[in-house]
Structure 1
């Protein structure tokens, strides 16, 4: 039988010759330098020689496996040409790298995601996975290999990132199995094997409005891309989730005439339900769009962002969403690491306004797109309280910009 060492010693000769392995498998060596795997099969008084690909593109192990499959097909009556074509397809698929496979999966799935989510999924693979195993054959990657990689990610303090990547890698292999590219999913069950992360804690958020203003001022002075700086202030003024700002599009803004600098008292940001954090069944219903009344300060930020132009996204870098960690990194650079994160603006907003206007608890919750505690209330009380929410966002902007006393709790 052939060995990998023997294959390395194969030399081209003036005349073609064959080197036999077993069960009809052999390597055909031509004067041109071609080294082709072929298998001779006999069944029911029939005989055929079927091509299985070239060495070293097709390894000895792969050639043996392909020969076994070809024998089975021939015995079942499949014609040699059809077998050769199927073997070529099978071997081509088995030669796909993990990065190629992952990008194919991402392209096939991207229509199911928001633009921001699609960018985040690909970015996580490009940052954590492709450098380690991207060039490896997808069919050759093992479960221990993946577990080591995920463990390395988790040990950096990114346990949740490791779990998400495990889920994505498993989804990639399920995609490949459905297309007969691989036989197994080496990532199956790895989420459960990862060490449980630390208990979920409250997101760091500033409660003192003076410190909140200091953070925004520091962020405005920082040497950072304008899109990140403007997104930071817009995030604070609207108190939405970070993903909503990163995916914000110009066609979601209503009630503003961009051709003039005239005030826009009815300015509104309509965030599609598909981009909101809610049950999948609700995402398809436009009635669940989240409406954010925009204060004059928020509109001013948008006017600055509009000067950059060049994309459907409001806050972008070269047409792509700003990075998921860009604003958090900005706050850390400004000296607020561990004290305030982008999501923290929601807590700051809620704390400041509930303290000053406790009778407006419901309107404040609606402003934050919080799910109502009572299912009955959620079903029957669909009041948007837009006028009151607009009033609250205007007061919030004044508090952040220091235009009113932080002790003014009147209506």
Structure 2
């Protein structure tokens, strides 16, 4: 049997030669001084050689352990050389299965179940917050501390809820990876304990008194702003849709604007929630339009023409209006902390439900829920509700519009107010009502 002293002191010769150990393990010493571990064995009637690596990187004790492991494989009827090749190939494939690669597979598998808007949010959050930090790491090598480190970077932006959602999406990727046989555990599963708790949420600020709400609209429309932004504020107040649904409004979503039953058909993929939920409530969200809402659309068309988007961005007409444009305008009018764009839904719900209790017809509260795209309590009659309640939804939309716009100036006047304060002297600016 060999010893470390013998191995270290043996000098190379003009030709390669062997130093035998035991149980077919030996060391090949080449003329250039390299010392390489080998093992002879017989498998399926053929003599083969297994390589274990160079000395001293592989010491005598380690070489003997590798020899013994190879002999155990032989006893189980496994070729040690073939097993090693498979292990190397598996290691290579594992290194290629980075988190970003597996996340892309997971996304493609699930995107058909999601609304387009939600799918875009998922992909954007992974590209922005996960891939730069863990995207190139093999998924089998990711650890809870590394995932926490990634989520901490999101928390440092005070985006606590975003960090929670990102953790859920990372966990979703690992759930797929486990099912696909890439990994056997989810290191993100228990990291919630290391994350900051969600701040306590209050209700979104909303004015729920009709007189105050109408006064707020009047004040907002007196503020300097783009004409299309002012129109957008009045339109969202009339329709009580979500701000994202308003910003993405396209002209081809509107029907019968010149007829007696004007309608805004918001596609299911632009609505909040899963596709399953939307199919459950009938898919597209139908918004019957009061004549005041149609008037706003007519002015918007004169203002900007029949481009794709009804409420486009100031700098690029092919992009939606900024998500902050309406909120900033409300704040400038003096209503910061009192009302937000999403608050118009609460305004509509509160004021119209109070009206329904006093002056409405039986079932009006359910109709109001349908107008807000809420899931009906009685899901058995969903299909009937969407079709059968449409006349009443149209009537209530007109009731709301009449109440809300009483005393407000026509939309033409709103659109043509100046977008900027007028300066004096030679530097006086020209009014730009169409900006």
What is the distance in 2 between the residues matched to 1:293 and 1:70? 76
Spell out, residue by residue over 1:120-140, the C-alpha distance to the aligned partner (whole angstroms, 9 max, x if none): 112222333234333444333
1:327–1:281: structure 2 CA closer, same or farther, 3 Å change rule? closer
1:266–1:375: structure 2 CA closer, same or farther, 3 Å change rule? closer
What is the distance in 1 between the residues matched to 2:337 and 2:77? 67
Quote how far apart the aligned CAs of 1:167 are.
Answer: 0.4
Match of 2:323 among 315, 327, 330: 327
The alignment partner of 1:338 has SS state of coil
Match of 1:214 among 204, 212, 219: 219
Task: Report 1:222-233 matches (<5 A).
Answer: none
1:76–1:189: structure 2 CA closer, same or farther, 3 Å change rule? farther
Report which structure shows greater RCO (CA 8 Å, sep ≥6): 2
Task: Report 1:148-227 matches (<5 A).
Answer: 148-154=149-155, 156-191=157-192, 193-207=194-208, 208-215=213-220, 218=223, 220-221=225-226
Task: Report 1:274-353 matches (<5 A).
Answer: 282-285=277-280, 287=282, 289-294=284-289, 295-297=293-295, 299-300=297-298, 303=301, 307-309=306-308, 322=320, 326-328=322-324, 330-332=326-328, 335=331, 336-353=335-352
1:118–1:41: structure 2 CA closer, same or farther, 3 Å change rule? farther
Count of paired positions = 346
CA RMSD of aligned residues (A): 5.0
Match of 2:395 among 385, 391, 395: 391
Quote how far apart the aligned CAs of 1:89 are.
Answer: 5.4
1:144–1:355: structure 2 CA closer, same or farther, 3 Å change rule? same
Alignment partner, residue 413 of structure 2: none
Quote how far apart the aligned CAs of 1:143 are.
Answer: 0.5
The alignment partner of 2:187 has SS state of coil
1:375–1:98: structure 2 CA closer, same or farther, 3 Å change rule? closer
Alignment partner, residue 111 of structure 1: 112
What is the distance in 2 between the residues matched to 1:118 and 1:337? 32
What is the distance in 2 between the residues matched to 1:314 and 1:68? 74
1:82–1:351: structure 2 CA closer, same or farther, 3 Å change rule? same
What is the distance in 2 between the residues matched to 1:246 and 1:70? 66
Task: Report 1:250-265 matches (<5 A).
Answer: 252-256=253-257, 263-265=258-260
Quote how far apart the aligned CAs of 1:197 are.
Answer: 1.7
1:144–1:320: structure 2 CA closer, same or farther, 3 Å change rule? farther
What is the distance in 1 between the residues matched to 2:407 and 2:98? 61
Quote how far apart the aligned CAs of 1:364 are.
Answer: 2.6
Give yes or no for the alignment of 1:140 onto 2:169.
no
Quote how far apart the aligned CAs of 1:106 are.
Answer: 2.2
1:70–1:351: structure 2 CA closer, same or farther, 3 Å change rule? farther
Q: Where does structure 1 lack aligned partners over 5 or more consecutive residues? A: 1-23, 27-37, 53-66, 257-262, 407-411
